Chain A
Amino acid sequence: MSQSTRIATHESRSVTLLFIGVALVYLLLFLGLPLFAVFYQALSKGWGLYWAALQEADALSAIKLTLIASGIAVPCNLVFGIAAAWAIAKFEFKGKSLLITLIDLPFAVSPVVSGLVYVLLFGAQGWFGHWLQAHDIKLLFAVPGIVLATIFVTFPFIARELIPLMQAQGKEEEEAAVSLGASGWQTFTRVTLPNVKWGLLYGVILCNARAMGEFGAVSVVSGHIRGMTNTMPLHVEILYNEYNFVAAFAVASLLALLAVVTLLVKSLIEWQARRSGEPLHHGA
């Protein structure tokens, strides 16, 4: 066979191996090794110190606060995501693309700036600072401020996932249900929700991962009061800066575990969605 008949739709074997090699080295160096290092450092002085670090009172209160913050932020953004997706995907109105852009705004804002805006609102010199002080309400450097900052940074996650998904599915099924006599709530729970359940779950777990892991915004509004206003990422920072590396990586390993579980569940959802024919929107 002459050389001209070899059609060039594939790379030569050596180029293929080179590309796979480069990709694997890059990913292992930047992703695999750091992930392994978190657990390695956490356990570097044995299980005893690891467990002790996790059972310390400040660590426990940081875990509790992280669970509270994400436990409030995720449901709030879930309700918002559903409402926004329903309004945007099922109805026609002017200014729709502007609304979608505004919903995306928190993604464009640096986490530090997200925290700063709440300081400007609720801080001692802020818009509502005097009023809050007069009524003895503490938002900033307290749990409510942390919850608010967490809601802000995770604001678009679920809406962004649901809007394109519900837009793609159109509204014929819902219109059929309504014209057959279903109420709005019945239409939503029995027609819309089953169609977007994987996308919804996808948005929720990504929202949760970010809510539990947020650092910059929470750091600005927290005030870093040990055992009071420290979330897990903030506790990691304090321990690290005190050169208490084993404890810092022990708490960090819990967050890394959360990340691994998130990736697993995410892959599982993608697989399930593909099987059931429900497309997922891969938002960044």
Chain B
Amino acid sequence: MARSAASSTRVFTRFRAHSVLPGFNLAMGFTLLYLSLIVLVPLSALFFKTANLGWGGFFAVLGNDRVLASLRVTFLTSLAAAVINAFFGLIVAWVLVRYRFPGKRIIDALVDLPFALPTAVAGITLATLYAPHGWIGQYFAAQGIKIAYTPLGIVVALTFIGLPFVVRTVQPVLEDVEAGVEEAAASLGAGRWDVFRRVIFPAIYPALLTGFSLAFARAIGEYGSVIFIAGNMPYISEISPLLIVSKLEQYDYAGATAIAVIMLLISFALLFSINALQWWTSRRGVR
């Protein structure tokens, strides 16, 4: 039985020389069917719904002050969180790759916590910590700075959920920077800062940018961790995903869909630039 199967595949290879392995039709068929049913058909519903709305209706939703304000809040807080994560993420990656200290393995594992901790849990915990009487919030409250229930709180939540991205993209690249290059630069008289600026940073820069974009993209769509700490004041601390939910609760499907399409287009643009960035990085790596 097995032998006849093998010989038949051998005959088959004369027609399709590229593979002797079986199962392509089954695997590919299932992949396409599942992808279509779960992802493509539902997502296309979004665009058909918007098409029903027409350009006029679409721009009427978009031109709304509250919608624009929510997009601005979402965009700016995500950007701030991604910048914070790029800066501290670089330091964390550096420390994890270059230095030895007790507890390093636990710290390394802990970096992935935001991937594993449900967003709602993160949301209620951060809101409790950064509230005016919370463990952290009280010190800021004493200085007259309110964090929870303001846009600052949103930045805190988005920093939390985006934390692993920069660390995890920069870490492997930093590990691959050859000590020999650094030694050569140093022995030619470069100071430590020059070595970092001229040798190490150019090598890790694309990874840093990728990590930044991933953190930014994730923050744009985030909902669960933000709504507990944001205060959700229209025009001030209301994020776009929340506005989608409130429109749905008022049965305003068209309005919800229009905002969703805008967010989806922003995400696609980001996904596209991340892919382009990774393509550019891998080409640079080949040299």
Chain A interface residues toward B at CB < 8 A: 4, 7-12, 15-16, 19-20, 22-24, 26-27, 29-35, 37-38, 41, 76, 79-80, 83-84, 86-88, 90-93, 99, 101-113, 116-121, 123, 125-127, 148, 151-152, 155, 171, 174-175, 178-184, 186-188, 206, 209-210, 212-216, 219-220, 232-234, 236-237, 240, 245, 248-249, 252, 255-256, 258-260, 262-264, 266-267, 282, 284
| CB-based nearest B residue for A149 | B42
Q: B221 within 8 Å of A by Cβ?
A: yes
The answer to whether A117 touches B19 (Cβ under 8 A) is no
Nearest 9 A-B pairs (CB), nearest first?
A213-B118, A110-B221, A215-B224, A184-B22, A216-B223, A259-B116, A117-B42, A87-B27, A112-B241
Q: Are A179 and B6 in contact (CB under 8 A)?
A: yes
Q: A125-B253, A213-B117 are in contact. Are A34 and B264 (CB under 8 A)?
A: no
For chain B, residues 241 to 264, give those with C-beta under 8 angstroms from any C-beta of chain A: 241-242, 244-245, 248, 253, 256-257, 260, 263-264
Q: Is the CB of B245 within 8 A of A219?
A: yes
**Complex formed: what's the CA distance from A83 to B30 in Å?**
7
Residue of B nearest to A7 (CB): B186
Give A256 to B22 CA distance when docked, in angstroms: 43
Bound Cα distance from A216 to B225, whole angstroms: 9
Are B264 and A113 neighbours in the complex by a CB distance under 8 Å? yes
Bound CA span A183–B189, Å: 63
Q: How many A-B residue pairs have CB under 8 A?
A: 311
Task: Contact check, A112 vs B223: say whether CB atoms are below 8 A apart.
Answer: yes
Q: How close is A187's CB to chain B, nearest CB, in angstroms?
A: 7
Contacts of B28 in A (CB 8 A): 83, 87, 91, 93
CB distance from A240 to the nearest CB of B (A): 5
Tell me the complex Cα distance, A30–B110, Å. Answer: 11
Chain B residues in 8 Å Cβ range of A110: 220-223, 241, 244, 260, 263-264, 267
Do B116 and A263 have beta carbons less than 8 Å apart? yes
Query: Residue of A at shortest CB range from B45?
Result: A120
Contact flag A252-B120 (CB < 8 Å), given A35-B113, A83-B27, A220-B248: yes
Give A259 to B135 CA distance when docked, in angstroms.
23
With A103-B35, A117-B42 known as contacts, the answer to whether A181 contacts B124 (CB < 8 A) is no
B95 contacts the other chain (Cβ, under 8 Å)?
yes
Chain A: CB-nearest residue to B134: A37
17 pairs, A vs B, C-beta closer than 8 Å: A7-B183, A31-B111, A35-B113, A83-B34, A104-B271, A110-B241, A111-B223, A113-B221, A155-B39, A175-B21, A179-B6, A181-B5, A184-B21, A216-B119, A233-B118, A256-B121, A258-B116
A282 to chain B, nearest CB (A): 6
Q: B157-196: which residues lie under 8 A (CB-CB) from chain A? A: 159-160, 163-165, 168-169, 172, 179, 182-183, 186-187, 189-192, 195
Do B49 and A171 touch across chains, with their CB atoms under 8 A apart?
no
> Could you tell me if B114 and A31 are in contact, using CB atoms closer than 8 angstroms?
yes
Which among B39, B99, B135, B248 has the greatest number of chain A C-beta atoms within 10 A?
Answer: B39
Q: Which of A112, A232, A284 contacts B169 (CB 8 A)?
A: A284
- Tell me if A91 and B18 are in contact (CB < 8 A): yes
Q: How far is the CB of A198 from chain B (nearest CB, A)?
A: 16
What are the residues of chain B within 8 A of A7 when measuring CB–CB?
183, 186-187
From A183, A216, A282, contact of B2 by CB (8 A): A183
Report if B268 contacts A (CB, 8 A): yes
B145 within 8 A of A: no
A33 adjacent to B136 (CB under 8 Å):
yes
Which of chain A's residues have a CB closer than 8 A to the CB of B3? 181
B110:A120 contact, CB within 8 angstroms: no
Whether, in the assembled complex, B24 has its beta carbon less than 8 Å from a beta carbon of chain A, the answer is yes
Selected from A15, A179, A233, the residue in CB contact (under 8 A) with B121 is A233
Q: Judge whether B24 and A34 touch: CB under 8 Å.
A: no
Which of the segments B56-64, B65-73, B86-94 contacts the partner chain? B86-94
What separation, in Å, do the CA atoms of A22 and B88 have in the docked complex? 8
Question: Smallest distance from the beta carbon of A184 to chain B beta carbons, Å?
Answer: 4
Partner of A23, one of B88, B124, B168, B192: B88
CA distance A23 to B166 in the complex (A): 13
Which residues of A have CB within 8 Å of B267?
A: 108-110
Docked pose: A41 CA to B31 CA in angstroms:
44
Q: Report Cα–Cα, A87/B121, bound state, in Å.
A: 38
Contact A155 B38 (CB under 8 A): yes
CB-CB contacts of B96-109 with A at 8 A, as 1s and 0s? 10010100010101
> When the two chains form their complex, are residues A8 and B172 in contact, meaning their CB atoms are under 8 A apart?
no
Bound CA–CA A212/B120 (angstroms): 11
Select from chain A the residue with minimum beta-carbon distance to B10.
A179
For the complex formed, measure the closest distance between the CB of A191 and the CB atoms of chain B, giving whole angstroms.
10
